[in-house]
Amino acid sequence: MSKSAGTPGDITRRQMLRRIGMTALIAGPGAGLLTACATGGTTPAAPASAAPSASGAVSAANPFGVAADAPLEVVIFKGGLGDSYATEVHEPLYKKAFPQAQVKHVATQKIAQTLQPRFIGGDVPDMIANSGTDLMDNGALQQEGQLLELTELWDAPSIDDPSKKVRDMVAPGTVESGLIDGKPYLMNYVFSAYGLWYDSALFEKNGWTPPKTFDEFKAFAEKAKAAGVTPFAYAGKNAAYYAYWMILISAAKIEGNQILIDVDNLVDGVWQRDSMKQSAAAWAEIAKYMDKSFEDKEHTQVQLQQNQGKVALYPSGSWLENEQKAQTPETFKYALTPTPSVTAADKMPFEAIRAAAGEAYIVPAKGKNPKGGLEYLRIMLSKEGARGFTEKSGNITVVTGAADGLELTPGNASLSAAQTAAGQNIVTFSNFENWYKEFETELRRQTNALLFGRISADEFCEKVQKAADKTKADSSITKQNRTV
Partner 1 sequence: MRQGKYPFIVGFLAAPVLLYVVFVISPYIQAFYISLTDWKGISAAPRFIGLENFTRLFDDEVFWAAVRHHGVLLLVMPLVTIVIALFFAFLLNLSGGQRGGQMTGLWGSKVYRVIFFLPQVLAVAIVGVLFQTIYRSDETGVINSLLGKIGIDPVGWLIDPDIALLSIIGVMVWQAVGFYVVLFSAGMSSIPKDVFEAAALDGAGRFTLFFRITLPMLWDTMQVAWVYLGIAAFDAFALVQVLSVDRGGPDNSTTVLPLEIWRTAFNFSKFGYASAMGVALFFMAITFAALTLRVTRRERIEY
Q: Which one, of 135, 78, 127, lies nearest residue 111 by Cα?
A: 135
Should residue 40 be labelled a site residue for partner 1 when binding is judged by CB under 8 A?
Answer: yes
Which residues lie closer than 8 Å to 104 by C-beta, 6 or more apart? 71, 72, 73, 74, 125
- In a 13 Å sphere around the CA of 14, the CA atoms on its Cβ side amount to 4
228 binds partner 1 (CB under 8 A): no
Please pick, from the candidates 116, 206, 400, 409, the single residue that binds partner 1 as defined by CB under 8 A. 116
Pairing state between β 334-337 and 183-184: unpaired
The answer to whether 458 contacts partner 1 (rule: CB under 8 A) is no
Residue from 11, 58, 406, 484 binding partner 1 (CB under 8 A) = 11
Among 12, 14, 45, 308, binds partner 1 (CB under 8 A): 45
CB of 373 to partner 1, least distance (A): 18
Contact (Cβ atoms closer than 8 angstroms) between residue 187 and residue 358: no
Q: With contact defined as beta carbons under 8 Å apart, do 81 and 359 qualify?
A: yes
Length, in residues, of the chain: 484
| Region of 31-39, 187-195, 201-209, 265-273 interacting with partner 1 (CB under 8 A) | 31-39
Reference 296, options 247, 239, 245; nearest CA is 239
User: Which of the stretches 117-125, 180-188, 319-327, 382-390 binds partner 1 when contact is defined by CB under 8 A?
Assistant: 117-125
CB-based contact 164:382 (threshold 8 Å): no
Pick 30 or 329: Cβ nearer partner 1? 30
Instruction: Count the helices and strands in the chain (H runs, E runs).
Output: 20, 11
- Least distance from C-beta 247 to partner 1, angstroms? 16
- Give the number of other Cβ atoms within 10 Å of residue 30's Cβ: 11
Q: How far is the CB of 353 from partner 1 (least distance, A)?
A: 27
Closer residue to partner 1 in complex, CB, 200/434: 434
Site for partner 1 contains 50 (CB under 8 A): no
What residues between 379 and 408 interact with partner 1 by CB under 8 A?
none
Among 68, 106, 107, 112, the residue binding partner 1 under the rule CB under 8 A is 112
Residue 34 touching partner 1 (CB under 8 A) = yes
Say whether 314 sits in a helix, a strand or coil. Answer: strand
Q: How far is the CB of 58 from partner 1 (least distance, A)?
A: 31
DSSP 36-102: TT--TT-SPS-GGGG---------SS-TT---TT--EEEEEE-STT-SHHIIIIIHHHHHHH-TT--
Q: Beta 127-129 vs 353-362: how paired, if at all?
A: antiparallel
Nearest to 127 by CA among 96, 163, 101, 166: 101
Instruction: Note whether 329 binds partner 1 by CB under 8 A.
Output: no
User: Nearer to partner 1 by C-beta: 167 or 437?
Assistant: 437
Question: Segment 256-315, which members bind partner 1 (CB under 8 A)?
Answer: 291-293, 295-296
- Does the protein bind partner 1 through residue 36 (CB under 8 A)? yes
Q: Which of residues 123-182 bind partner 1 (CB under 8 A)?
A: 134, 136-137, 139-141, 143-144, 146
| Inter-axis angle of helices 383-393 and 370-380, nearest 10 | 70
> Binding residues for partner 1, how many (CB under 8 A)?
63
Applying CB under 8 A, among 30, 162, 401, 423 the residue interacting with partner 1 is 30
Q: From the CB of 74, what's the least distance to partner 1, in Å?
A: 20
Note whether 449 binds partner 1 by CB under 8 A: yes
Which residues in this chain contact partner 1 in the complex, by CB under 8 A?
9, 11, 16-17, 19-20, 22-23, 26-46, 112-113, 116, 119-120, 122, 134, 136-137, 139-141, 143-144, 146, 236-238, 240, 291-293, 295-296, 437-438, 441, 444-445, 448-449, 452, 454, 476
